[in-house]
Amino acid sequence: LPRQPAASPLLALDIGGTLIKLVYTASRGGGADGTDLRFAKFERRRLQECFNFIRAEGLLASNAGGEGVTLKATGGGAYKFADDFLEKLGVCLDKLDEMDSVVSGANFLLQSIPGAAFTHMNGLRNPVDVSPNNLFPYLLVNIGSGVSILKVTGNRKFERVTGTHIGGGTMFGLAKLLTGCKSYDEFLQLSQKGDNFVLDLIVKDICGELVCQKQGLSTSTLASSFGKVITSKKKLTDYKPEDLASTLLSAFTYNIAQIAFLVASLLGLRRVFFGGSYIRGHKSTMENISYAIDFWSQSQMQAVFLRHEGYLGALGALMSYGD
């Protein structure tokens, strides 16, 4: 962590399209020189709650009375809300490039926090041993409101290769409309209880089981997400929110994983790290991403997940206090 006097908290923000992420330091107490990293997030539309939290936690305390408090901040909202931070909290935002921050956050986690990287496949979570010698190059797929895909070749060395606008914001937006869910966690819980095969068309539905077997096709392979709806007489209200949620999550997750696989193949990369709040530590999201990467790559590539995956940008911004 950047050097600092023990008692002064550091706070950095990542103000994204959907969420405001905060990472801050707190002394462990007992006079030890160690500090803990703490994490908090707010919906972007709840900026006022975020301000209240920053005040209540005393995160500007070290600078109390001082002039010109400056916080490191990244994400598009750092530009959009800079005036609000000045007016309501009396702080300036030092705006940092979003991709720089995401990459330094990922590299910090991977190089400084043991056990931060892990695989999640076939129900098993296994730590991934990363050392600076075997870390680079890697593909970083950050799934936020949209998706950014970066090739990382070293500390501060990266290229934003591509991205897609069909990301977490798209899925959660559709989820709100289709299932009536109020929060992302509610959506994930619904999806756990649902069955995507109520709406998804699988190969067997098209060819029939016998033909599939003859041609050596896997009967349960997805042919078309939501494809069964077309030939059904059911209305939206006839579908269970649980099944709709499950179908949405698998459609978007497999699609993003497939794009990640294609980009990794084009670049000849075998290790793909996934970040962004989309993942939210959710087991079946990670399982589905891992399955898709393994399936498409014929086990030649590995999907790796990160603890604190939603806070990469904010962590990177925090690291920049040491610059």
List contacts with ligand ADP (CB under 6 A).
Answer: 16-19, 43, 75, 144-145, 168-169, 171-172, 184, 276-278, 280, 310
User: CB 255 → ligand ADP: shortest distance, Å?
Assistant: 13
Pick 17 or 227: Cβ nearer ligand ADP: 17
User: CB 34 → ligand ADP: shortest distance, Å?
Assistant: 28
Pick 76 or 227: Cβ nearer ligand ADP: 76
Pick 202 or 260: Cβ nearer ligand ADP: 260
Burial class (CB in 10 A: 0-12, 13-18, 19+), 164: middle
Chain residue whose CB lies nearest ligand ADP: 16
User: CB 61 → ligand ADP: shortest distance, Å?
Assistant: 27
For residues 74 and 104, give the distance between their C-alpha atoms in angstroms, rounded to a whole number. 12
Pick 141 or 304: Cβ nearer ligand ADP: 141
Kindly report the backbone phi and psi dihedral angles of residue 223, in degrees, each rounded to the nearest multiple of 5, phi listed first: -100, -40
For residues 212 and 191, give the distance between their C-alpha atoms in angstroms, rounded to a whole number. 28
Pick 45 or 235: Cβ nearer ligand ADP: 45
- Residues 83 and 51: beta-carbon distance below 8 Å: no
In terms of Cα–Cα distance, which of 91, 207, 51, 75 is closest to 144? 75
User: CB 124 → ligand ADP: shortest distance, Å?
Assistant: 24
What letter represents residue 168's amino acid?
A: G
Pick 105 or 310: Cβ nearer ligand ADP: 310
User: CB 62 → ligand ADP: shortest distance, Å?
Assistant: 27
Q: Which residues of 58-82 are buried (b: 16+ CB within 10 A; e: fewer)?
A: ebbebbeeeeebebbbbbebbeebb
Burial class (CB in 10 A: 0-12, 13-18, 19+), 139: buried
User: CB 208 → ligand ADP: shortest distance, Å?
Assistant: 36
| Joined tokens for residue 310 | 């939603």
Sheet holding 138-143, edge to edge: 124-127, 117-121, 302-306, 271-275, 138-143, 147-154, 157-164
